[in-house]
């Protein structure tokens, strides 16, 4: 049969060949598409260029979206002093989302005590640019949902946009189904345990932005990159080579290189 036109012949030939052969595509480059959830439990020593790390965090915000957890005294501890005001101003100017730390003792802390700390954050930190609350020591059982749902509602009434929950482990899926918390930290542990860890099946049923992981004791940049590659369904992540008892009181020694990973796409096989 004579082709009606050269272009039509090419089209028919392409369709014929596509039906006869399947060629595996080259792995496509995908942007990392993740944010850093940073426990910034470092005092803002702005007067010492070597010890002041908040400006390094602010500078990194040019390359990656950062949510920084502010923890003046295992909670607000009262109005921020002038040092914290300086540090918070630097982070705000960089466009960093800031969260105020509150310990909940797995639901055993009286809810009024937690609300009192939320009040302090709302009165003294919210006007400075704090936009969220980080509830730590969250109970992973569905039986505590009323406790945390009430705290989330209270935080939003106070004007906070974001509420992050940290059980540090797999949480009952009901928290996600009932939309309690914007982000949930479903792993906080060392790198060795992370390599053996399996995320719950429900991770694939919700947007990646609902999940965060925090990994300490990461030996170096190569291992941090491996953690990032394994966290494909996780929207927030942070790695550090620091270890307990204060694993979040420094930036990782590979901080600049860690930030750079978020600018460089990773290969993901289809």
Residue 3 lies in a domain: no
Directed axis angle between helix 145-157 and helix 111-120, to 10°?
A: 20
> Looking at residue 5, what is its pLDDT?
44
pLDDT per residue of the chain (270 residues) written in tens, 0 to 9: 344 444 444 344 444 443 333 232 333 223 467 999 999 999 999 999 999 999 999 999 999 999 999 999 999 999 999 999 999 999 999 999 999 999 999 999 999 999 999 999 999 999 999 999 999 999 999 999 999 999 999 999 999 999 999 999 999 999 999 999 999 999 999 999 999 999 999 999 999 999 999 999 999 999 999 999 999 899 999 999 999 999 999 999 999 999 999 887 654 433
Residue 223 lies in a domain: yes
Residue 92 lies in a domain: yes
For 235-264, give the DSSP string.
SEEEE-S--TTSTTSS--TTHHHHHHHTTS
Instruction: Provide the CB-side half-sphere exposure for 28 (13 A, CA).
Output: 5
What element of type H or E holds 3?
A: none
CB neighbours of residue 216 within 10 Å: 20
Radius of gyration of the chain (CA): 23
Predicted structure pTM score: 0.87
What element of type H or E holds 107?
A: none
> Looking at residue 56, what is its pLDDT?
98
> Looking at residue 6, what is its pLDDT?
43
User: Residue 185's closest CA among 57, 42, 47, 69?
Assistant: 69
Instruction: Give the burial class of 262: count Cβ atoms within 10 A of its Cβ; 0-12 exposed, 13-18 middle, 19 or more buried.
Output: buried
Strands 97-103 and 29-30: unpaired
Residue 49 lies in a domain: yes
> Looking at residue 33, what is its pLDDT?
77
> Looking at residue 194, what is its pLDDT?
98
User: Residue 270's closest CA among 19, 26, 22, 18?
Assistant: 26
Residue 103 lies in a domain: yes
The CATH number of whichever domain residue 45 belongs to comes to 3.20.20.60
Residue 203 lies in a domain: yes
Give the structural domain span for 63. 29-267
CB neighbours of residue 120 within 10 Å: 19
Tokens 């272009």: give the residue: 7
Distance of alpha carbon 99 from alpha carbon 121, whole angstroms: 9
Total domains in the fold of the chain: 1
Residue 147 lies in a domain: yes
Residue 105 lies in a domain: yes
């Amino acid at each position: 049969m004579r082709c009606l036109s050269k272009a039509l012949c090419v089209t028919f030939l392409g369709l014929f060949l596509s039906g006869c052969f399947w060629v595996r595509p080259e792995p496509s480059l995908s942007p990392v598409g993740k944010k850093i959830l940073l426990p910034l439990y470092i005092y803002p020593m702005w007067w010492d260029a070597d010890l002041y790390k908040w400006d390094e965090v602010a500078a990194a915000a040019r390359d990656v979206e950062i949510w920084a957890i502010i923890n003046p005294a295992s909670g607000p501890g009262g109005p921020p002093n002038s040092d914290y005001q300086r540090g918070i101003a630097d982070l705000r100017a960089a466009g960093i989302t800031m969260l105020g730390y509150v310990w909940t003792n797995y639901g055993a802390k009286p809810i009024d005590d937690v609300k009192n700390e939320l009040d302090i954050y709302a009165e003294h930190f919210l006007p400075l640019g704090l936009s969220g609350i980080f509830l730590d020591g969250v109970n992973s059982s569905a039986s505590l949902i009323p406790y945390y749902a009430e705290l989330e509602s209270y935080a939003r009434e106070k004007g906070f946009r974001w509420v992050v929950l940290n059980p540090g482990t797999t949480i009952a899926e009901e928290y996600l189904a009932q939309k309690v918390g914007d982000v949930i930290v479903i792993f906080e542990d060392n790198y060795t345990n992370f390599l053996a860890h399996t995320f719950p099946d429900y991770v694939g049923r919700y947007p990646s932005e609902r999940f965060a992981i925090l990994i300490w004791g990461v030996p170096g940049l190569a291992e941090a990159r491996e953690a990032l590659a394994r966290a494909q369904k996780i929207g927030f992540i942070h790695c550090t080579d620091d270890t307990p008892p204060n694993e979040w009181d420094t930036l990782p020694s590979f901080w600049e290189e860690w930030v750079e990973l978020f600018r460089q796409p990773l290969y993901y096989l289809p």
